[in-house]
Amino acid sequence: MASTSASLLKSSPVLDKTEFLKGQALRHPSVSLVRCHPAPSLGFSIRASYADELVKTAKTIASPGRGILAMDESNATCGKRLDSIGLENTEANRQAYRTLLVSAPGLGKFISGAILFEETLYQSTVEGKKIVDVLTEQGIVPGIKVDKGLVPLAGSNNESWCQGLDGLASRSAAYYKQGARFAKWRTVVSIPNGPSALAVKEAAWGLARYAAISQDNGLVPIVEPEILLDGEHGIDRTFEVAKKVWAEVFFYLAENNVMFEGILLKPSMVTPGAECKDRVAPETVAAYTLNLLKSRIPPAVPGIMFLSGGQSEVEATLNLNAMNQSPNPWHVSFSYARALQNTCLKTWGGRPENVKAAQDALLLRAQANSLAQLGKYTGEGESEEAKEGMFVKGYSY
């Protein structure tokens, strides 16, 4: 099947950016507003060989009642998690924890994809079985974090940019060979620090280049411009910034000829800043977030897989559930790390005798979010621990 958006883009003139961002193009379809740039045929011909597979992978991940387990903490971040339960940050401890996660019995019923850090993609379980094979046998698509983390953005207001484009094509080809079928690139936008026009443009451009390179190599890109929870601002300010960010992201995705049917998004939910005194109900988060999605995200995009961003486990599940109370054009689901793993990690505590209880804790959260994806979560019987927020100022991944 030929890609609809790719072939549309191939035959369409490229819109002027100002008009695209203002959403004016349909109201002023005048020839003077468009420039003609024929799409580079080389890019399309490479991607054409993967087009069907990309669409299929994205649809598999965006399947009813399932979402993504984000377990792609870098070694440094994983070290902080292990430290919180008194364990040393050794490869053996990381392997033991990740073995516990991927081999939770029946996980594939609720989880359609797992994002791995590079070490895990090439790692075996404690029992010596390839982690990629364990996932595949569970019906879970293996994915890979491909960004190289955040560094200061010179010339900005103390903001950051995301590294990792150098060598990305060859790394992506190797990850595909190793069994990965989707990729993740997380960049961040800070509201208290601006966001400056420079930081938003840099974030959007980096995501678009990464998305095009991923598709060329058979990996479905998860596009993640995380709008950090940090700040005292209210929900309206988050909404305003999110609209700007997503307008830029989709402008550059189109400019880079990214096939919309073969991507997944990982947005932040639209909430007040973590330090804002006015808290809002899940129904309000859902209304703002769906309003944002409807005004910015084309229905061709198969799945919207939210990050949890420091919300408590229960809060993240309640908010997702509220968004699924009526039908959406896309599969609206989860790609949580902290909101799936927190109780599981604490329950494990590094002790072999706790592995089963920790797996049960993971399955409980996965099932709760599966129900929330279907709009059927009630929130009954949740522990007090699962209601504790996990916000950390300036969180890195």
Query: Which positions lie near ligand 13P, rule CB under 6 A?
Result: 70, 72, 115, 184, 186, 224, 307-309, 336-339, 397
> Closer to ligand 13P at the Cβ: 51 or 131?
131
> Closer to ligand 13P at the Cβ: 186 or 331?
186
Nearest distance from C-beta of residue 381 to ligand 13P, angstroms: 23
Q: Rounded to whole angstroms, how far apart are CA atoms 303 and 329?
A: 9
Tell me if residue 266 is catalytic: yes
Q: Rounded to whole angstroms, how far apart are CA atoms 259 and 54?
A: 9
Within 8 A by CB and 6+ apart from 309, the residues are 226, 228, 229, 268, 269, 391
Active site residue: 73, 145, 266, 382, which one? 266
Residues 145, 117: contact at Cβ < 8 Å?
Answer: yes
> Closer to ligand 13P at the Cβ: 72 or 216?
72
Q: Rounded to whole angstroms, how far apart are CA atoms 397 and 70?
A: 11
Nearest distance from C-beta of residue 263 to ligand 13P, angstroms: 16
Alpha carbon of 243 to those of 281, 293, 354: distances in Å? 21, 9, 44
Chain length of the chain: 397
Active site residue: 224, 226, 248, 261, which one? 224
CA angle, 201 as apex, 225 and 31 as ends, to 5°?
115
Residue 280 CA from chain centroid, whole number: 23
Nearest distance from C-beta of residue 397 to ligand 13P, angstroms: 5
First to last CA, the chain: 36
Task: Specify the DSSP class assigned to residue 124.
Answer: B
> Closer to ligand 13P at the Cβ: 224 or 255?
224
Which of 152, 218, 228, 225 has the alpha carbon at shortest distance from 185? 225
Residues 187, 206: contact at Cβ < 8 Å?
Answer: yes
Nearest distance from C-beta of residue 115 to ligand 13P, angstroms: 5
Nearest distance from C-beta of residue 339 to ligand 13P, angstroms: 5
Residues 249, 204: contact at Cβ < 8 Å?
Answer: yes
Nearest distance from C-beta of residue 71 to ligand 13P, angstroms: 8
> Closer to ligand 13P at the Cβ: 217 or 308?
308
Tell me if residue 80 is catalytic: no
Residues 147, 184: contact at Cβ < 8 Å?
Answer: yes
> Closer to ligand 13P at the Cβ: 47 or 81?
81
Q: Which residues are catalytic?
A: 224, 266
